[in-house]
Each structure stands twice: as C-alpha cells, then as structure tokens.
Amino acid sequence: MNALNRIKEYCFRGKNNPDIQECMIEGISGISDKICIICLDNFKDGETIIRVKCNHYYHTQCIYNWFEKQPTCPLCDEILKIS
C-alpha cells in the first residue's frame, strides 16, 4: 500500500472526521479558491478534492502528502485532527 493510501486510511478510519472532508467538484464557481495552493494547479469539474475545517480546498494527493510532514492547513496553519 502506498503512503497516500495509508494516510488516507488513517484519516478516515471508519469514522466521520469533521476536520477533513472529501468532496467532488460540481461547478467550480462554488469554490472561492479555484487552485490548490500546494501544487498551484487548478481544480477541475468532477474532481474529488479535500475540504479542511477552515474551508480551504486541496487536491487529495497534495494534502495527504502535506499531512506526512505536519497536521496543519497549509494556508492558515490551523491544526487539524487527522487521526
């Protein structure tokens, strides 16, 4: 199992985590930040992304790679409960 899947499994281990939520983009206009500030790539319609409790959005792989280093929001440094 690769690192991304291990972290994802750890974060979503059979429970609802209010700090981290997966969501699918349907109509990019509903999201104020239209790019992932980790990779600086645009979000695309139909893509699954992560919303953290401070309402910042990231590509799934980008934020889980970030979580390998620290459990905070990359934009505002909000501490996130990821376990």
**Statement: residue 71 has pLDDT above 80:** yes
| Cut 0.85: pTM above it | no
d(CA 16, CA 10): 12
The ranges assigned to domains in the chain are 3-67
pLDDT digits (tens, 9 = 90+) for 2-57: 655 665 665 555 556 678 888 887 765 556 668 999 999 999 888 889 999 998 99
Give the helix/strand (H/E) hosting 28: none
> Which CATH homologous superfamily contains domain 3-67?
Zinc/RING finger domain, C3HC4 (zinc finger) (3.30.40.10)
Nearest-10 crossing angle of helices 60-67, 3-11:
80
